[in-house]
Amino acid sequence: MKKEDEIIQFLDDRIFNPILNSKIASTSLKQGARLTRMRMLQRDSKGMVTYYWSAIVGTEKSIGFAKKLKEENFIRFEEVIDEFRDRFSDEWLRK
């Protein structure tokens, strides 16, 4: 499996699919999840990891998306930070 596939599978399982497959998630949250996922897929593995960390640090859009996730009771990027950091480390990227 390519590194990009491994990263997106992790994020699909924990973040994106629960939103996209939900009957209760708002339309705007689903649109945000689709857009974020699409932006991730436009990057290589290092870019995907960098994008994830940018979302954690917080841009205007990512802060709003994180608030919406919390309001609608979905898992945020921040909530999988330990597992993401351990799994997709610099060492892993260099392999």
Contact 20, 69 (CB under 8 A): no
Burial of 69 (C-beta count, 10 Å sphere; 0-12/13-18/19+): buried
- Domain of residue 76: give its range: 3-94
Task: Specify the number of domains making up the chain.
Answer: 1
Give CA–CA dist 30/4, Å, rounded. Answer: 22
**pLDDT tens for each residue of 41-72:** 999 999 999 999 998 888 888 888 999 999 99
Contact 41, 74 (CB under 8 A): no
pLDDT per residue as tens digits for the range 25-38: 999 999 999 999 99
Sign of CA dihedral 22, 25, 29, 31: positive
